Structure 1
Amino acid sequence: MAEDMATSFGAQAADYEVGRPEYPFDAVAWMLERMPHGTRRIADVGAGTGKLTRVLAHAPDAEVVAIDPDSEMLATLRGAVPGVPTFVGSAERLPLPDASVDAVVLGQAWHWVDPVAGSAEIGRVVRSGGVLGVIWNIRDDRVDWVRRLTEIMHGSHAENMLAEGDPVVAAPFGGLEQERWEWVRPITRDLLHRMAASRSYIITASEDEKARIRHDLDALFDELDLHGDTTIDLPYVTRAYRAVRD
């Protein structure tokens, strides 16, 4: 079931692209601070529709490739971030030569990866002294209406994993460093629905369950008086981690 969820996103690629938030530039820059100077090759793994890829593409002296197991997600990425080479693959099976990149980064994706096998395969393609970076945008459930939103949609694999502790990264990478950023995204009722529709639990749910979730979301949004183009600030915590290859 988890594997079905991990590869389900292509069916809702358009909702994923518009419903999911961007990554704060400062958080992405922090992940890459430990990379060697000069021209730097970066692989965005689990790239999806390119939410992280487009930030990486603006990094100075960066050459970026995007890798994802879902060809439909990569098709959307090519429209959003033209010119970035794309390849079908996963963290455990990368279509890259040995020691060919300076960093591998994963946005909203490491929770789908076998951390031991993924770390070993990423270690194969990352040069010595290079970086593994993982990052998530997590809704801030300390806010009451956001907590209720999550209860209706169900917690994601990422949210559940991070609630239990920090992610696991294995050899040949050293210890994890971490930082966090708090920010808000103004969002409409329609975009909240599309964000919900892009979540793996809902994509793979029965039609009855999808209808129940949409009904309960509408009830919450009515209570918040969120209609039409009106926006509400959706608070996020971005959690970023980095580790250097031995």
Structure 2
Amino acid sequence: MEKRERLLHASSFGMAAAAYDEHRPDYARAAVRWALEPASGPRVLDLGAGTGKLTASLVALGAEVVAVEPDPAMLNELRRSLPAVRALPGSAEAIPLPDASVDAVPAGNAMHWFDMTVAGPEIARVLAPGGVLAGLWNLMDDRVEWVAGLARVGGSAAVGPRDTPAGWRAGTADAHLPESRVAARFGAAEQGEFPHEQRRTADSLVATIATRAGVLVMPAQEQEATLGRIRAFLAGGPETAHGEFTLPMLTGVLRVRRL
């Protein structure tokens, strides 16, 4: 994705901040623990925090959390839902914190929006030596046949290559830690995957997919057609046609240490 297109997609979430907060899933608790495991202390920066989906899990694990989010509407939702958390405007490329002030920097479904040539040195600046940078992504488990069908029907804008386990494994480390591990500030990357799930109905799953950047930036007619295909697919499937069902997921984690 070229820079202009990436910026357009990254800035699209504010128009759906309330829906994002309502429908997007949290992260597997085991994944969050694993992401933070090598950290030497409790000071955590949730970078690109959105409406606080990851923030809430970090707080529940006892971390001392500062949340940083560039979109004002998303930041307002975070402050509304988690008023006790220190939440600041800022971005991965311009973090409003002092040098070596945090022990871990997790990012939930956000790291792919960062310009790592700028953000990498900036994250290294705020991390204490030996600190952890961790990206977390929620993935639809397309090893399950009906989920694979949903991915085919929705198309790449609704369920992109990074949203399924195989695509995430193939692209994550190279895509998000370029330039020789950001000029040798970080060590070798580790990947982990953790079972997760979300209870959905057909309507709420359509609403979840509607908060994806690829759908948000669609022209209205194309968006309606895409969501209509997904709705029809869910209505015709025995697993998803009647009431609540479980959406099988994984939380994938990319973890590196600051040298």
**Normalising by the residue count of structure 1, what TM-score does the alignment of the two structures yield?**
0.92
| 2:20 aligned residue | 16
Q: What pairs with 1:58-73 in structure 2 (closer than 5 Å)?
A: 58-60=60-62, 62-73=63-74
| 1:49 aligned residue | 51
Match of 1:198 among 211, 218, 235: 211
1:178 is aligned to 2:191: yes
Tell which deviates more after alignment, 109-118 or 205-214.
109-118
Structure showing the higher helix proportion among its residues: 2
| 1:5 aligned residue | 9
Retained in 1: the 8 A contact 2:49–2:69? yes
Shift of residue 133 of structure 1? 1.0
Shift of residue 63 of structure 1? 1.4
Tell which deviates more after alignment, 47-56 or 166-175.
166-175
Retained in 1: the 8 A contact 2:69–2:89? yes
Q: Quote the RMSD (CA, aligned, Å).
A: 1.8
Q: Secondary structure at the match of 2:93?
A: coil
Amino acid at match of 1:3: L
Change over 3 Å in CA distance of 1:179–1:203 after alignment to 2: same
Distance 2:188 2:112 in 1: 18
Q: What pairs with 1:1-246 in structure 2 (closer than 5 Å)?
A: 1-37=5-41, 40-60=42-62, 62-151=63-152, 152-154=154-156, 155-156=159-160, 158-159=162-163, 162=168, 164-167=170-173, 168-169=176-177, 170=181, 171-224=184-237, 226=240, 230-246=243-259
Amino acid at match of 2:191: Q
Change over 3 Å in CA distance of 1:221–1:157 after alignment to 2: closer
Distance 1:67 1:158 in 2: 23
Shift of residue 153 of structure 1? 4.7
Q: Which runs of 5+ in 1 are unaligned?
A: none
Shift of residue 115 of structure 1? 2.5
Write the deviation string for residues 11-45 of structure 1: whole angstroms up to 9, x where unpaired.
111221122111111110111111114xx211101
Retained in 1: the 8 A contact 2:79–2:85? yes
Shift of residue 173 of structure 1? 1.2
Distance 2:252 2:235 in 1: 31
Aligned length: 242
Retained in 2: the 8 A contact 1:92–1:113? yes
Distance 1:193 1:33 in 2: 34
Q: Secondary structure at the match of 2:251?
A: strand
Retained in 1: the 8 A contact 2:203–2:231? no
